[in-house]
Amino acid sequence: MHSLLGYSWTEIASILAAVSVFFSGIYWLVKYAAKVVNNAIIVGTFPLQQQFKELSNTIKQLNNNFKEQHKSLEELRDEVSRHHDELIEHETRIGNLEGDKSENYQ
């Protein structure tokens, strides 16, 4: 009968079957342990995840408020600029009227 390293083919097949069962068991154990640890991490970090969601929502609201305030500030600047221009026009008109008044009295 043929043999490899002094073992018959049936013995080699039995050894390979035992080794594959052993490594399959170790693989299942590692996979199960990883699943248990992952679930524990998810449960442990759930409050933190909720806080991150709340923080993200707060940041979005603040960003929207900032944009609204920036828009209002730009409108206010435009209005102030318009009023400034009107004041300059009024000062010019008053100066012209005073000049006309002084010319009429002389």
pLDDT at position 103: 66
Task: Report DSSP state, residue 106.
Answer: -
pLDDT digits (tens, 9 = 90+) for 81-106: 999 999 999 999 888 888 776 666 65
Contact 32, 26 (CB under 8 A): no
pLDDT digits (tens, 9 = 90+) for 56-87: 999 999 999 999 999 999 999 999 999 999 99
The DSSP bridge partners found for residue 7 are 4
Chain-centroid distance of CA 97 in Å reads: 62
Hey, what are 8's tokens? 């018959």
Hey, what are 96's tokens? 């012209």
Chain-centroid distance of CA 57 in Å reads: 10
Task: Report DSSP state, residue 6.
Answer: T
Q: How far apart are CA 95 and CA 87, in angstroms?
A: 12
pLDDT digits (tens, 9 = 90+) for 5-57: 778 888 889 999 999 999 999 999 999 999 999 999 999 999 999 999 999 99
